[in-house]
Amino acid sequence: MNDSDRRNLERALEFADELASTLVERDITREILISDRFVQWAITTPLYNVGEFDSHVSKELRASHPEIPWSKVAGTRHRLVHGYGGTDWTIVTEIVYRDLPSFADQIRGLLR
């Protein structure tokens, strides 16, 4: 892994972990995330950043780890940033609570 990929993965992981910690510290449940506009805005920035750093990982590293959902992570960021007719917060909630922890664990494994 080159230095740039390592830095990008470390930053993506940092934002994923900060988001996970914030959800626990502030007792943000799935129901709150689906219904509270302020909370939705608050979680979007870390998701943007995870997707942004993910999108800068080299094609070589992506190809060598096809089990990691690189394009889905970057695509989530793209959809949140550009809107595309609205955001389905039920889907975002599943990403935050189900997919992001798994992605973070995969990144942690790569960085070891």
What range does the domain containing 107 cover?
3-111
Region of residue 70 (phi > 0: left; psi between -120 and 50: alpha; otherwise: beta) = alpha
In this structure, what DSSP letter does residue 28 have?
-
Q: Model confidence over 36-82: pLDDT tens digits? A: 999 999 999 999 999 999 999 999 999 999 999 988 888 888 778 77
Q: What is the pTM of this model?
A: 0.89
Q: Model confidence over 12-36: pLDDT tens digits? A: 999 999 999 999 999 999 999 999 9
> For residues 49 and 8, is the Cβ–Cβ distance under 8 A?
no
Q: What's the total number of domains in the chain?
A: 1
Region of residue 57 (phi > 0: left; psi between -120 and 50: alpha; otherwise: beta) = beta
